[in-house]
Structure 1
Amino acid sequence: MNERAPDWAQDVSRIAVLTGAGISTDSGIPDYRGPDGVWTRDPGMEQAFTHQKYVADTKVRRRFWHWCGDLHQRDARPNAAHLALADLEAAGSAVRILTQNVDGLHQKAGSTPRKVLELHGGMATAACLRCRAKTPTGDVLARVAAGEPDPACHDCGGILQPSIIMFGQLLDQAVLAHAAAIARTAQLFLAIGSSLMVEPAAGLCGVAVENGARLVIVNRDPTPYDDLATEIVREPIGDAVPRLCAMLTPSAQSMMSER
Protein backbone atom coordinates (compact mmCIF):
# COMPACT_ATOMS: atom_id res chain seq x y z
CA MET A 1 0.00 0.00 0.00
CA ASN A 2 1.64 3.22 -1.16
CA GLU A 3 -0.45 5.71 0.80
CA ARG A 4 0.42 6.38 4.41
CA ALA A 5 -2.66 5.56 6.47
CA PRO A 6 -3.88 8.23 8.90
CA ASP A 7 -3.76 7.61 12.64
CA TRP A 8 -7.50 6.96 12.86
CA ALA A 9 -7.14 3.97 10.50
CA GLN A 10 -4.62 2.21 12.71
CA ASP A 11 -5.40 -0.61 15.17
CA VAL A 12 -9.00 -0.89 14.03
CA SER A 13 -10.79 -4.23 14.16
CA ARG A 14 -14.46 -3.33 14.76
CA ILE A 15 -15.99 -1.13 12.06
CA ALA A 16 -19.55 0.18 11.87
CA VAL A 17 -20.66 1.79 8.61
CA LEU A 18 -23.71 4.03 8.28
CA THR A 19 -24.68 4.47 4.64
CA GLY A 20 -27.11 6.88 3.06
CA ALA A 21 -28.46 7.64 -0.40
CA GLY A 22 -25.15 9.08 -1.61
CA ILE A 23 -23.50 5.67 -1.73
CA SER A 24 -25.98 4.47 -4.35
CA THR A 25 -25.95 7.39 -6.79
CA ASP A 26 -23.13 5.77 -8.80
CA SER A 27 -25.51 2.84 -9.28
CA GLY A 28 -28.02 5.14 -10.97
CA ILE A 29 -30.28 5.60 -7.95
CA PRO A 30 -30.79 9.32 -7.30
CA ASP A 31 -30.46 10.67 -3.79
CA TYR A 32 -33.16 12.85 -2.28
CA ARG A 33 -31.70 16.23 -1.35
CA GLY A 34 -28.75 16.54 -3.73
CA PRO A 35 -28.58 18.82 -6.80
CA ASP A 36 -30.22 16.12 -8.92
CA GLY A 37 -32.15 14.57 -6.03
CA VAL A 38 -35.70 13.23 -6.20
CA TRP A 39 -37.09 16.00 -4.02
CA THR A 40 -34.85 18.69 -5.54
CA ARG A 41 -36.17 17.99 -9.04
CA ASP A 42 -39.75 17.47 -7.86
CA PRO A 43 -40.47 18.92 -4.38
CA GLY A 44 -43.96 17.43 -4.48
CA MET A 45 -42.48 13.93 -4.40
CA GLU A 46 -41.62 14.39 -0.73
CA GLN A 47 -45.33 14.00 0.02
CA ALA A 48 -45.20 10.50 -1.45
CA PHE A 49 -42.73 9.52 1.26
CA THR A 50 -44.98 10.84 4.06
CA HIS A 51 -47.07 8.05 5.54
CA GLN A 52 -50.14 10.14 6.37
CA LYS A 53 -50.40 11.55 2.85
CA TYR A 54 -49.63 8.17 1.29
CA VAL A 55 -52.51 6.54 3.18
CA ALA A 56 -54.97 9.38 2.65
CA ASP A 57 -54.56 10.12 -1.06
CA THR A 58 -54.72 7.62 -3.93
CA LYS A 59 -53.06 10.21 -6.21
CA VAL A 60 -50.02 10.24 -3.91
CA ARG A 61 -49.86 6.45 -3.97
CA ARG A 62 -50.13 6.38 -7.75
CA ARG A 63 -47.26 8.84 -7.96
CA PHE A 64 -45.19 6.76 -5.57
CA TRP A 65 -45.77 3.48 -7.42
CA HIS A 66 -44.93 5.16 -10.73
CA TRP A 67 -41.63 6.32 -9.23
CA CYS A 68 -40.97 2.79 -7.89
CA GLY A 69 -41.63 1.35 -11.34
CA ASP A 70 -39.13 3.71 -12.96
CA LEU A 71 -36.56 2.80 -10.31
CA HIS A 72 -37.19 -0.93 -10.74
CA GLN A 73 -36.62 -0.72 -14.48
CA ARG A 74 -33.12 0.67 -13.94
CA ASP A 75 -32.05 -2.70 -12.50
CA ALA A 76 -29.42 -1.02 -10.31
CA ARG A 77 -26.20 -2.88 -9.57
CA PRO A 78 -23.74 -2.44 -6.69
CA ASN A 79 -20.98 0.05 -7.39
CA ALA A 80 -17.35 0.28 -6.31
CA ALA A 81 -18.24 1.54 -2.82
CA HIS A 82 -20.68 -1.29 -2.07
CA LEU A 83 -18.18 -3.84 -3.39
CA ALA A 84 -15.31 -2.38 -1.35
CA LEU A 85 -17.29 -2.73 1.88
CA ALA A 86 -18.19 -6.33 1.00
CA ASP A 87 -14.54 -7.04 0.20
CA LEU A 88 -13.47 -5.53 3.53
CA GLU A 89 -15.73 -7.98 5.35
CA ALA A 90 -14.52 -10.87 3.18
CA ALA A 91 -10.92 -9.96 4.04
CA GLY A 92 -11.68 -10.71 7.69
CA SER A 93 -12.60 -7.33 9.17
CA ALA A 94 -15.51 -7.15 11.62
CA VAL A 95 -17.79 -4.94 9.54
CA ARG A 96 -21.41 -4.13 10.34
CA ILE A 97 -23.44 -2.01 7.93
CA LEU A 98 -26.25 0.19 9.18
CA THR A 99 -27.98 1.49 6.08
CA GLN A 100 -30.64 4.13 5.59
CA ASN A 101 -31.09 2.84 2.06
CA VAL A 102 -33.86 0.51 0.94
CA ASP A 103 -32.26 -0.72 -2.30
CA GLY A 104 -30.62 -3.93 -1.07
CA LEU A 105 -27.37 -3.16 -2.89
CA HIS A 106 -25.14 -4.02 0.07
CA GLN A 107 -26.49 -7.57 0.07
CA LYS A 108 -26.20 -7.80 -3.71
CA ALA A 109 -22.56 -6.70 -3.42
CA GLY A 110 -21.81 -9.65 -1.13
CA SER A 111 -22.13 -8.23 2.38
CA THR A 112 -23.51 -10.92 4.69
CA PRO A 113 -27.26 -10.20 4.98
CA ARG A 114 -27.36 -10.69 8.76
CA LYS A 115 -24.57 -8.10 9.08
CA VAL A 116 -26.60 -5.48 7.20
CA LEU A 117 -29.24 -3.66 9.24
CA GLU A 118 -31.82 -1.89 7.08
CA LEU A 119 -32.79 0.96 9.39
CA HIS A 120 -35.51 2.24 7.08
CA GLY A 121 -36.71 -1.12 5.79
CA GLY A 122 -36.34 -2.49 2.29
CA MET A 123 -38.03 -2.40 -1.10
CA ALA A 124 -37.93 -6.16 -1.69
CA THR A 125 -41.41 -6.69 -0.26
CA ALA A 126 -44.65 -4.75 0.14
CA ALA A 127 -47.08 -5.15 3.03
CA CYS A 128 -50.80 -4.58 3.39
CA LEU A 129 -51.45 -1.86 5.94
CA ARG A 130 -54.66 -3.64 7.01
CA CYS A 131 -53.99 -7.38 7.18
CA ARG A 132 -50.14 -7.22 7.11
CA ALA A 133 -49.89 -9.79 4.31
CA LYS A 134 -46.58 -9.48 2.45
CA THR A 135 -45.92 -9.85 -1.25
CA PRO A 136 -42.83 -9.32 -3.43
CA THR A 137 -42.67 -5.71 -4.57
CA GLY A 138 -41.83 -6.94 -8.06
CA ASP A 139 -45.27 -8.57 -8.24
CA VAL A 140 -46.93 -5.30 -7.24
CA LEU A 141 -44.95 -3.38 -9.85
CA ALA A 142 -45.98 -5.92 -12.49
CA ARG A 143 -49.59 -5.04 -11.67
CA VAL A 144 -48.76 -1.34 -12.00
CA ALA A 145 -47.18 -1.96 -15.39
CA ALA A 146 -50.29 -3.92 -16.41
CA GLY A 147 -52.54 -0.95 -15.72
CA GLU A 148 -53.26 -0.90 -11.95
CA PRO A 149 -51.87 2.46 -10.84
CA ASP A 150 -52.71 1.88 -7.15
CA PRO A 151 -52.78 -1.89 -6.53
CA ALA A 152 -54.71 -3.08 -3.48
CA CYS A 153 -54.05 -6.14 -1.33
CA HIS A 154 -55.30 -9.32 -3.03
CA ASP A 155 -56.33 -10.76 0.33
CA CYS A 156 -58.37 -7.98 1.89
CA GLY A 157 -58.37 -4.97 -0.45
CA GLY A 158 -56.22 -2.89 1.89
CA ILE A 159 -53.55 -0.37 0.94
CA LEU A 160 -50.18 -1.79 -0.07
CA GLN A 161 -46.97 -0.06 0.93
CA PRO A 162 -43.38 -1.16 0.30
CA SER A 163 -41.80 -2.42 3.51
CA ILE A 164 -40.01 0.86 4.13
CA ILE A 165 -40.22 3.43 6.91
CA MET A 166 -41.85 6.62 5.65
CA PHE A 167 -41.86 9.99 7.33
CA GLY A 168 -44.33 9.80 10.20
CA GLN A 169 -43.63 6.12 10.92
CA LEU A 170 -41.45 4.82 13.74
CA LEU A 171 -38.36 2.80 13.09
CA ASP A 172 -38.40 -0.81 14.22
CA GLN A 173 -37.22 -0.44 17.81
CA ALA A 174 -35.46 -3.82 17.85
CA VAL A 175 -33.48 -2.91 14.73
CA LEU A 176 -32.63 0.51 16.15
CA ALA A 177 -31.50 -1.00 19.48
CA HIS A 178 -29.30 -3.47 17.61
CA ALA A 179 -27.79 -0.62 15.57
CA ALA A 180 -27.10 1.39 18.72
CA ALA A 181 -25.36 -1.62 20.30
CA ILE A 182 -23.14 -1.93 17.23
CA ALA A 183 -22.34 1.80 17.34
CA ARG A 184 -21.41 1.58 21.03
CA THR A 185 -18.87 -1.19 20.45
CA ALA A 186 -17.32 0.12 17.23
CA GLN A 187 -13.77 1.41 17.17
CA LEU A 188 -14.36 3.19 13.87
CA PHE A 189 -17.67 4.60 12.66
CA LEU A 190 -17.82 5.47 8.95
CA ALA A 191 -20.74 7.62 7.80
CA ILE A 192 -20.92 7.41 4.00
CA GLY A 193 -23.20 9.34 1.66
CA SER A 194 -25.66 10.51 4.29
CA SER A 195 -26.81 14.06 4.95
CA LEU A 196 -27.09 12.99 8.62
CA MET A 197 -30.27 15.05 8.83
CA VAL A 198 -32.69 12.20 9.49
CA GLU A 199 -32.94 11.04 13.08
CA PRO A 200 -32.68 8.72 14.89
CA ALA A 201 -30.37 7.03 12.35
CA ALA A 202 -28.02 10.03 12.20
CA GLY A 203 -27.75 10.03 15.98
CA LEU A 204 -25.82 6.77 15.80
CA CYS A 205 -22.79 8.94 14.98
CA GLY A 206 -23.08 10.57 18.40
CA VAL A 207 -23.61 7.22 20.11
CA ALA A 208 -20.40 5.90 18.56
CA VAL A 209 -18.31 8.96 19.47
CA GLU A 210 -19.62 9.04 23.04
CA ASN A 211 -18.36 5.48 23.43
CA GLY A 212 -14.90 6.17 22.10
CA ALA A 213 -15.19 5.50 18.36
CA ARG A 214 -13.41 7.55 15.74
CA LEU A 215 -15.95 9.11 13.35
CA VAL A 216 -15.05 9.54 9.69
CA ILE A 217 -17.63 11.20 7.43
CA VAL A 218 -17.52 10.67 3.66
CA ASN A 219 -20.01 13.05 2.10
CA ARG A 220 -20.09 15.75 -0.56
CA ASP A 221 -21.84 18.33 1.65
CA PRO A 222 -21.45 19.44 5.29
CA THR A 223 -23.49 17.55 7.89
CA PRO A 224 -24.73 18.36 11.40
CA TYR A 225 -22.18 15.89 12.80
CA ASP A 226 -19.05 17.28 11.14
CA ASP A 227 -17.86 18.82 14.44
CA LEU A 228 -17.63 15.33 15.97
CA ALA A 229 -15.65 13.86 13.10
CA THR A 230 -12.02 12.81 13.33
CA GLU A 231 -11.82 13.27 9.57
CA ILE A 232 -14.13 14.52 6.82
CA VAL A 233 -13.65 13.23 3.27
CA ARG A 234 -15.18 15.25 0.43
CA GLU A 235 -13.87 13.29 -2.56
CA PRO A 236 -16.29 11.19 -4.66
CA ILE A 237 -17.62 8.19 -2.74
CA GLY A 238 -16.71 5.76 -5.50
CA ASP A 239 -13.06 6.79 -5.12
CA ALA A 240 -12.94 7.39 -1.38
CA VAL A 241 -14.55 4.21 -0.04
CA PRO A 242 -12.33 1.70 -1.90
CA ARG A 243 -9.27 3.70 -0.81
CA LEU A 244 -10.36 3.80 2.83
CA CYS A 245 -11.32 0.13 2.85
CA ALA A 246 -7.89 -0.80 1.49
CA MET A 247 -6.34 0.89 4.53
CA LEU A 248 -8.58 -1.04 6.91
CA THR A 249 -8.06 -4.63 5.74
CA PRO A 250 -6.40 -6.95 8.29
CA SER A 251 -3.32 -7.24 6.04
CA ALA A 252 -2.98 -3.45 5.88
CA GLN A 253 -3.45 -3.22 9.65
CA SER A 254 -0.70 -5.81 10.11
CA MET A 255 1.66 -3.83 7.89
CA MET A 256 0.97 -0.66 9.87
CA SER A 257 1.66 -2.40 13.19
CA GLU A 258 5.02 -3.61 11.89
CA ARG A 259 6.25 -0.15 11.02
Structure 2
Amino acid sequence: MLGDARAVTVFTGAGISTECGVPDYRSPGSPWRAHAPIAFADYLADPAMRAEAWRRKFAMDDLYAAARPGRGHRAVARWAAAGRVRAVVTQNIDGLHGAAAGPDDEIVELHGVGSHARCLGCGDRHELGPIRSRFESHGALPECACGGIVKSASIAFGQSLDPAVLQRAVEASLECDLFVVLGSTLLVRPAARFPDLARRNGARLAIVNREPTPLDREADLVVHADIGDTLDPL
Protein backbone atom coordinates (compact mmCIF):
# COMPACT_ATOMS: atom_id res chain seq x y z
CA MET A 1 0.00 0.00 0.00
CA LEU A 2 2.78 2.44 0.91
CA GLY A 3 4.91 1.33 -2.01
CA ASP A 4 2.56 2.52 -4.75
CA ALA A 5 1.27 5.66 -3.00
CA ARG A 6 2.29 8.93 -4.62
CA ALA A 7 1.27 11.31 -1.82
CA VAL A 8 0.92 10.11 1.77
CA THR A 9 -0.53 12.12 4.63
CA VAL A 10 0.33 10.76 8.07
CA PHE A 11 -1.93 11.57 11.02
CA THR A 12 -0.58 10.86 14.51
CA GLY A 13 -1.87 10.85 18.05
CA ALA A 14 -0.48 10.16 21.50
CA GLY A 15 0.19 6.49 20.75
CA ILE A 16 3.22 7.26 18.59
CA SER A 17 5.01 8.99 21.48
CA THR A 18 4.31 6.69 24.42
CA GLU A 19 7.43 4.58 23.76
CA CYS A 20 9.41 7.84 24.02
CA GLY A 21 8.28 8.39 27.59
CA VAL A 22 5.52 10.87 26.76
CA PRO A 23 2.37 9.80 28.66
CA ASP A 24 -0.98 9.67 26.94
CA TYR A 25 -4.22 10.97 28.39
CA ARG A 26 -6.29 7.83 28.73
CA SER A 27 -3.98 5.21 30.26
CA PRO A 28 -4.77 4.25 33.88
CA GLY A 29 -2.59 6.24 36.24
CA SER A 30 -1.68 8.79 33.56
CA PRO A 31 0.04 11.83 35.10
CA TRP A 32 -2.21 13.97 32.92
CA ARG A 33 -4.98 13.08 35.37
CA ALA A 34 -3.02 14.55 38.28
CA HIS A 35 -1.94 17.55 36.20
CA ALA A 36 -4.99 18.03 34.02
CA PRO A 37 -4.77 21.06 31.71
CA ILE A 38 -6.75 24.11 32.82
CA ALA A 39 -9.70 25.04 30.60
CA PHE A 40 -9.11 28.05 28.37
CA ALA A 41 -12.00 30.08 29.80
CA ASP A 42 -10.71 29.57 33.34
CA TYR A 43 -7.19 30.52 32.26
CA LEU A 44 -8.43 33.80 30.82
CA ALA A 45 -10.71 34.64 33.74
CA ASP A 46 -8.56 34.01 36.81
CA PRO A 47 -4.87 34.74 37.55
CA ALA A 48 -4.92 31.98 40.17
CA MET A 49 -5.94 29.49 37.49
CA ARG A 50 -3.17 30.78 35.22
CA ALA A 51 -0.66 30.17 38.00
CA GLU A 52 -1.99 26.65 38.51
CA ALA A 53 -1.81 26.01 34.76
CA TRP A 54 1.87 26.98 34.71
CA ARG A 55 2.58 24.81 37.75
CA ARG A 56 0.98 21.81 36.07
CA LYS A 57 2.70 22.49 32.76
CA PHE A 58 6.16 22.60 34.30
CA ALA A 59 5.43 19.40 36.26
CA MET A 60 4.46 17.62 33.04
CA ASP A 61 7.39 19.09 31.10
CA ASP A 62 9.77 17.56 33.65
CA LEU A 63 8.25 14.12 33.13
CA TYR A 64 9.22 13.94 29.45
CA ALA A 65 12.07 16.43 29.21
CA ALA A 66 14.39 13.66 27.99
CA ALA A 67 11.99 12.36 25.30
CA ARG A 68 13.51 11.81 21.86
CA PRO A 69 11.88 10.66 18.58
CA GLY A 70 10.92 7.01 18.66
CA ARG A 71 10.73 4.31 16.03
CA GLY A 72 7.43 5.63 14.68
CA HIS A 73 8.71 9.19 14.28
CA ARG A 74 11.88 7.95 12.61
CA ALA A 75 9.94 5.71 10.24
CA VAL A 76 7.74 8.61 9.15
CA ALA A 77 10.85 10.75 8.67
CA ARG A 78 12.33 8.02 6.44
CA TRP A 79 9.17 7.97 4.33
CA ALA A 80 9.40 11.75 3.98
CA ALA A 81 13.07 11.55 2.99
CA ALA A 82 12.09 9.04 0.31
CA GLY A 83 9.56 11.50 -1.10
CA ARG A 84 6.49 9.55 0.00
CA VAL A 85 4.96 11.86 2.61
CA ARG A 86 2.88 14.90 1.65
CA ALA A 87 2.50 16.10 5.23
CA VAL A 88 2.42 14.95 8.84
CA VAL A 89 -0.63 16.13 10.77
CA THR A 90 -0.29 15.54 14.51
CA GLN A 91 -2.41 16.01 17.60
CA ASN A 92 0.71 15.91 19.76
CA ILE A 93 2.37 18.93 21.36
CA ASP A 94 5.70 17.21 22.13
CA GLY A 95 7.55 18.38 19.01
CA LEU A 96 9.01 14.93 18.33
CA HIS A 97 7.99 14.85 14.67
CA GLY A 98 9.83 18.11 14.12
CA ALA A 99 12.89 16.72 15.90
CA ALA A 100 12.96 13.72 13.54
CA ALA A 101 12.01 15.56 10.36
CA GLY A 102 14.10 17.07 7.61
CA PRO A 103 14.16 20.84 7.06
CA ASP A 104 11.60 20.75 4.25
CA ASP A 105 9.11 18.34 5.84
CA GLU A 106 5.64 19.76 6.49
CA ILE A 107 4.55 19.18 10.09
CA VAL A 108 1.04 20.40 10.89
CA GLU A 109 0.73 20.64 14.68
CA LEU A 110 -3.02 20.84 15.23
CA HIS A 111 -2.79 21.47 18.96
CA GLY A 112 0.27 23.69 18.86
CA VAL A 113 3.47 22.94 20.76
CA GLY A 114 4.51 23.07 24.39
CA SER A 115 8.07 24.24 23.73
CA HIS A 116 7.35 27.96 24.07
CA ALA A 117 4.60 30.45 24.91
CA ARG A 118 2.76 33.17 23.02
CA CYS A 119 0.92 36.33 23.92
CA LEU A 120 -2.79 35.92 23.30
CA GLY A 121 -2.95 39.59 22.44
CA CYS A 122 -0.17 40.42 19.99
CA GLY A 123 1.08 36.90 19.22
CA ASP A 124 4.68 37.53 20.31
CA ARG A 125 6.71 34.46 21.23
CA HIS A 126 7.97 34.05 24.81
CA GLU A 127 10.60 31.50 25.86
CA LEU A 128 9.85 29.12 28.71
CA GLY A 129 13.19 29.42 30.53
CA PRO A 130 12.71 33.00 31.75
CA ILE A 131 9.01 32.36 32.42
CA ARG A 132 9.79 29.37 34.62
CA SER A 133 12.62 31.11 36.45
CA ARG A 134 10.44 34.06 37.45
CA PHE A 135 7.45 31.87 38.24
CA GLU A 136 9.35 29.48 40.51
CA SER A 137 11.43 32.14 42.24
CA HIS A 138 8.78 34.85 42.71
CA GLY A 139 5.47 33.30 41.70
CA ALA A 140 5.28 35.84 38.88
CA LEU A 141 3.04 35.20 35.90
CA PRO A 142 4.53 35.96 32.47
CA GLU A 143 3.81 39.39 31.08
CA CYS A 144 3.85 40.74 27.54
CA ALA A 145 4.90 44.26 26.69
CA CYS A 146 1.52 44.79 25.04
CA GLY A 147 -0.32 43.90 28.25
CA GLY A 148 -1.78 40.69 26.81
CA ILE A 149 -2.05 37.36 28.61
CA VAL A 150 0.84 34.96 27.91
CA LYS A 151 0.02 31.26 27.54
CA SER A 152 1.76 28.09 26.45
CA ALA A 153 1.63 27.75 22.66
CA SER A 154 -0.30 24.49 22.99
CA ILE A 155 -4.08 24.52 22.58
CA ALA A 156 -6.07 24.34 25.82
CA PHE A 157 -9.43 22.67 26.31
CA GLY A 158 -12.02 25.08 24.97
CA GLN A 159 -9.52 27.08 22.93
CA SER A 160 -10.13 27.34 19.18
CA LEU A 161 -7.66 25.79 16.80
CA ASP A 162 -5.65 28.15 14.62
CA PRO A 163 -7.71 28.52 11.39
CA ALA A 164 -4.57 28.55 9.23
CA VAL A 165 -3.30 25.32 10.81
CA LEU A 166 -6.72 23.73 10.44
CA GLN A 167 -6.78 24.69 6.75
CA ARG A 168 -3.35 23.12 6.21
CA ALA A 169 -4.66 19.89 7.72
CA VAL A 170 -7.71 19.94 5.45
CA GLU A 171 -5.52 20.51 2.38
CA ALA A 172 -3.17 17.68 3.37
CA SER A 173 -6.18 15.37 3.74
CA LEU A 174 -7.57 16.26 0.31
CA GLU A 175 -4.26 16.10 -1.57
CA CYS A 176 -3.18 12.58 -0.59
CA ASP A 177 -3.88 9.20 -2.12
CA LEU A 178 -3.04 7.35 1.12
CA PHE A 179 -3.96 8.56 4.60
CA VAL A 180 -2.12 6.76 7.43
CA VAL A 181 -3.34 7.03 11.04
CA LEU A 182 -0.75 6.20 13.71
CA GLY A 183 -1.61 6.03 17.39
CA SER A 184 -4.88 7.98 17.46
CA THR A 185 -8.20 6.78 18.83
CA LEU A 186 -9.96 9.16 16.40
CA LEU A 187 -12.39 10.03 19.18
CA VAL A 188 -11.58 13.72 19.55
CA ARG A 189 -12.83 16.04 16.85
CA PRO A 190 -11.60 17.30 14.52
CA ALA A 191 -9.35 14.21 14.60
CA ALA A 192 -11.95 11.96 12.97
CA ARG A 193 -12.70 14.54 10.31
CA PHE A 194 -9.41 14.31 8.44
CA PRO A 195 -9.17 10.57 7.67
CA ASP A 196 -12.83 10.53 6.71
CA LEU A 197 -12.31 13.57 4.48
CA ALA A 198 -9.40 11.86 2.76
CA ARG A 199 -11.30 8.61 2.33
CA ARG A 200 -14.33 10.37 0.82
CA ASN A 201 -12.00 12.12 -1.59
CA GLY A 202 -10.71 8.81 -2.92
CA ALA A 203 -7.67 8.15 -0.73
CA ARG A 204 -7.01 4.77 0.83
CA LEU A 205 -7.02 4.65 4.62
CA ALA A 206 -4.63 2.69 6.85
CA ILE A 207 -4.86 2.68 10.66
CA VAL A 208 -2.24 1.45 13.12
CA ASN A 209 -3.45 1.72 16.71
CA ARG A 210 -3.47 -0.60 19.71
CA GLU A 211 -7.20 -0.14 20.26
CA PRO A 212 -10.08 -0.14 17.76
CA THR A 213 -11.17 3.20 16.30
CA PRO A 214 -14.55 4.35 14.96
CA LEU A 215 -13.17 4.26 11.40
CA ASP A 216 -11.78 0.73 11.45
CA ARG A 217 -14.67 -0.59 9.34
CA GLU A 218 -14.07 2.05 6.71
CA ALA A 219 -10.30 1.52 6.47
CA ASP A 220 -8.46 -0.44 3.78
CA LEU A 221 -5.93 -1.69 6.33
CA VAL A 222 -6.17 -1.93 10.13
CA VAL A 223 -3.37 -3.09 12.43
CA HIS A 224 -3.97 -3.33 16.18
CA ALA A 225 -0.36 -3.53 17.33
CA ASP A 226 2.61 -1.56 18.60
CA ILE A 227 3.50 1.26 16.19
CA GLY A 228 7.27 0.85 16.42
CA ASP A 229 7.09 -2.92 15.91
CA THR A 230 4.80 -2.43 12.93
CA LEU A 231 6.70 0.33 11.16
CA ASP A 232 10.32 -0.70 11.76
CA PRO A 233 10.33 -3.39 9.03
CA LEU A 234 8.76 -1.12 6.39
TM-score when normalising by structure 2: 0.88
Task: Summarize deviations over 1:3-59 as a string: whole Å, max 9, x none.
Answer: xxxxx34411211011111111111111112234344x43x725x1x2112222344
CA RMSD of aligned residues (A): 2.2
- The one-letter code sitting in structure 2 at the alignment partner of 1:132 is G
Q: 1:231 corresponds to which residue?
A: 221
Determine whether 1:159 maps to 2:149: yes
Q: 2:61 corresponds to which residue?
A: 72
**What is the percentage of aligned positions where both structures have the same residue?**
39
Task: Summarize deviations over 1:199-245 as a string: whole Å, max 9, x none.
Answer: 123200110100111111111222222222112211112212323xx
Query: In structure 2, which of residues 224, 230, 234 is the aligned counterpart of residue 240 of structure 1?
Result: 230
The alignment partner of 2:180 has SS state of: strand
Contact 1:88 1:95 in 2 (8 A): no
The alignment partner of 1:125 has SS state of: strand
Task: Summarize deviations over 1:78-134 as a string: whole Å, max 9, x none.
Answer: 111111111221123234100111111111112446510111111222122344332
Contact 2:31 2:60 in 1 (8 A): no
Cα 1:83/1:157, change in 2 over 3 Å: same
Determine whether 1:31 maps to 2:24: yes
Q: 2:7 corresponds to which residue?
A: 14
Task: Summarize deviations over 1:171-204 as a string: whole Å, max 9, x none.
Answer: 1222212211111121111111112122123200
Contact 2:118 2:151 in 1 (8 A): yes
> Which deviates the most, 209-218 or 9-18?
9-18
Cα 1:146/1:240, change in 2 over 3 Å: farther
How does 1:83-122 map onto structure 2 within 5 Å? 83-112=74-103, 115-122=106-113
Structure 1 unpaired stretches of 5+: 1-7, 247-259
What is the distance in 2 between the residues matched to 1:155 and 1:175?
A: 26
The alignment partner of 2:50 has SS state of: helix
Runs of 4+ aligned structure 1 residues displaced above 6 Å come to none
How does 1:41-80 map onto structure 2 within 5 Å? 41-42=33-34, 45-46=36-37, 48=38, 50-73=39-62, 74-80=65-71
Contact 2:86 2:172 in 1 (8 A): no
Cα 1:55/1:123, change in 2 over 3 Å: same
Task: Summarize deviations over 1:134-161 as a string: whole Å, max 9, x none.
Answer: 212333223334342x523142554321
What is the distance in 2 between the residues matched to 1:130 and 1:198?
A: 27
Query: In structure 2, which of residues 151, 156, 166 is the aligned counterpart of residue 176 of structure 1?
Result: 166
What is the distance in 2 between the residues matched to 1:142 and 1:85?
A: 36
How does 1:138-217 map onto structure 2 within 5 Å? 138-148=129-139, 151-156=141-146, 158-217=148-207
TM-score when normalising by structure 1: 0.80
Cα 1:80/1:114, change in 2 over 3 Å: closer
What is the distance in 1 between the residues matched to 2:118 and 2:95?
A: 17
Structure in which a larger fraction of residues adopt helix: 1
What is the distance in 2 between the residues matched to 1:26 and 1:63?
A: 28
